[in-house]
Structure 1
């Protein structure tokens, strides 16, 4: 009588849904500085370069914590790591409502929030996908990566409207509250491994595997991965391309597009809506990128992504001066490409370094991404302070993207390419 019952939902999808929620809230936290720069500038009289320095520290720590977070997840467990991260983020964001000096902004938003969000960085999605899925990995990773776009879509218009009506502190409390609300949900429902609920990974065959034993020091594991990566030509190519990715996305557009729009007389709420629109189209673009990364040459995908992004950034200064549909066209075109680079980069990392070490190596590549974001955040803020506009910052970033489009084609040229469809994702045991 039970044979005709439909199969129950595999718990991998529950874990993936919780991971999406974690990354969505983290993305909302990371996108908040874009709507805080102008209000902080008005209330405290801080320069845009000063505020950008705190955001730069935030982005830098977000990346540098990643490799150690990946090792910590293997030792402490993903659930405990995430609960610790969200607690730190909640406290750091909430305390920013009490700050009155620039050093407090750097300490709270830069160090505390940057370090906290770094523990739920892109390596979280890669780790979850490889532990819980034997099939549909590229697609699931694409959806999880797109959570950053969804975070913008959900949070930015709301935060901009709250700031306009009730001041910037109301937005800070909303973000802190969102982080606090999901902590008990993660503590109750999240599981580290399929074996914890008596299952195989989704799509896997054979016996349920035991939880792997971990005894290595996480700091030593992370630093060992960096040492080996620095000796690899492909690591430098992957890290260099991701440096430019960070410099051309959340470090530049994610942080400075709203202030750049305000400089042109565009209201903050409308500017935030543009970022949210990018988030909507990025949700589509990054999910599609995950699907394509299972089927096409990932180097060629990256070449297209960086080339198109470079052209869109070169167009951006002209779009800002266009009173018509210029900015909307930019938001659609750029949004489709926002973080579509992640799924191909993850797969190329795993091809290069193998399944057992790909999680740590991708963590260091993400660190390069955030160093690029930090440099762009500080650099663009300084360019605005010195030149009075962002034009040179946007054009420079666009040119770097075009150079990177050619560079990524060199990845893996000296080794035999993996057969189509055999690439693996970060964190899967060899």
Structure 2
């Protein structure tokens, strides 16, 4: 396996290549497929517990294991950026495919837990070479659009898996068949990647090699992590606890509670398809970030109130839309920072993802602890209301990196 330093110093043409869509479309496909194992564990948790004989505490640890890789991706990124991203990404895809197959054959909770950790590591670490490939294949004017569509594919994956996994489990006779099918689909995608993916360094990248440490001196990554933790933690904790709150505190059936909660990823699909495209069209980034921080706190408060169901669906939809709205832009900004190398982008994004991972892990814990102390899940959910303000606060220090700002600076 070759290192990326030599590739980064090479000098190919910078003009966009039509082959970029072969790469990008597969990255989108992988974002759908990687929803399979976590969603299968979530949807089929009751069957898993009955078959492997584990309780609620172990189920919580199994859920947290999904995010274990987020905590390791930042320190590992300094090593990962030294390798050719396309080949390394292909190897990590293999681990993503093998993990659910191993989980499907699990004879005990421990085996399933380890398989979930392996999946998390493969998925989280794969985001570093994926970031390098985006730097090398996608022109700046398309970045937010590509990120938006990619995030939309995540929402599509969540919705498709939530609908399809119970059907597949019924057809195959249980959760084991589902896990094996999910793994085989991912392995097929990995084979396709190995057959079609190419390396492509960019001439516009600074020619001197970089080990990524320069990213630690860029305050923008800390600001992006600061903003992302607020919005991401509030959303992921809400989508986890909202069905239980609606069922237990509001007396809704599980079907109604699930239908209301489903408005979150549905709205996210719309937000991701529009935010990145509009941002690229008008050449501005920050205008798609700071308004969300002002709008979301009252929307979250209303979502956790006693609104009638029709009104509640509308409010939850708006929560999902504005919660997702900033993310295609936030993930595009690192690629547009002045004088930045692709390896610095990869390390910087790994830092942002690590901070987000901490929030995603601690957010549900905070909600649960407050709920137990107050005797009400409603009180726990209210601790999330103010977190999206970090979108707005972060924008006070973030530079405007859209094409309009770059034209004015040149």
| TM-score (structure 2 length as normaliser) | 0.78
Residue 72 of structure 2 corresponds to: 64
Counterpart mapping for 1:262-301 below 5 A: 263=248, 277-294=263-280, 295=282, 297-301=284-288
Residue 205 of structure 1 corresponds to: none
Counterpart mapping for 1:26-105 below 5 A: 26-40=34-48, 44=53, 46-47=55-56, 49-62=57-70, 64-65=72-73, 68-69=76-77, 72=80, 74-99=81-106, 103-105=110-112
Counterpart mapping for 1:306-317 below 5 A: 306-317=293-304
For each residue in 1:129-171, what CA deviation from the matched residue of structure 2 results, as whole angstroms up to 9, or x when unmatched?
3211324222122212322112112211112445578544444
Provide the rounded CA distance (Å) in 2 between the counterparts of 1:148 and 1:299.
Answer: 23
Residue 144 of structure 2 corresponds to: 138
For each residue in 1:365-411, what CA deviation from the matched residue of structure 2 results, as whole angstroms up to 9, or x when unmatched?
12111111111234445556666653233211122123x14412322
Shift of 1:36: 4.2
Shift of 1:118: 0.4
Shift of 1:272: 5.5
| TM-score (structure 1 length as normaliser) | 0.75
RMSD of the alignment, in Å? 3.7
Residue 255 to residue 317, structure 1, CA distance change in 2 (3 Å): same
Residue 314 of structure 2 corresponds to: 329
Residue 39 to residue 272, structure 1, CA distance change in 2 (3 Å): farther
Residue 360 of structure 2 corresponds to: 373
* 1:19 pairs with 2:17: no
Counterpart mapping for 1:1-400 below 5 A: 10-40=18-48, 44=53, 46-47=55-56, 49-62=57-70, 64-65=72-73, 68-69=76-77, 72=80, 74-99=81-106, 103-109=110-116, 111-121=117-127, 123=128, 126-134=131-139, 135-162=141-168, 166-193=173-200, 221-222=211-212, 224-225=213-214, 227-229=216-218, 232=219, 234-250=220-236, 252-260=237-245, 263=248, 277-294=263-280, 295=282, 297-318=284-305, 324-350=309-335, 354-356=339-341, 357-382=344-369, 390-400=377-387
Q: In 2, are the aligned partners of 1:26 and 1:120 still within 8 Å (CA)? A: no
Provide the rounded CA distance (Å) in 2 between the counterparts of 1:179 and 1:272.
Answer: 27
* 1:409 pairs with 2:409: no
Provide the rounded CA distance (Å) in 1 between the counterparts of 2:333 and 2:204.
Answer: 28
Residue 172 to residue 71, structure 1, CA distance change in 2 (3 Å): same
Q: In 1, are the aligned partners of 2:93 and 2:187 still within 8 Å (CA)? A: yes
SS at match of 1:13: helix
Provide the rounded CA distance (Å) in 2 between the counterparts of 1:310 and 1:40.
Answer: 36
Query: Structure 1: 5+ residue runs without aligned partners?
Result: 1-8, 196-200, 202-208, 425-430
Residue 143 to residue 258, structure 1, CA distance change in 2 (3 Å): same
Residue 258 to residue 31, structure 1, CA distance change in 2 (3 Å): farther
Provide the rounded CA distance (Å) in 2 between the counterparts of 1:126 and 1:287.
Answer: 20
Bigger shift: 241-250 or 296-305?
296-305
Q: In 2, are the aligned partners of 1:46 and 1:102 still within 8 Å (CA)? A: no
Shift of 1:352: 5.1
Q: In 2, are the aligned partners of 1:245 and 1:372 still within 8 Å (CA)? A: no
Query: Structure 2: 5+ residue runs without aligned partners?
Result: 1-16
Shift of 1:189: 1.4
Residue 418 to residue 254, structure 1, CA distance change in 2 (3 Å): closer
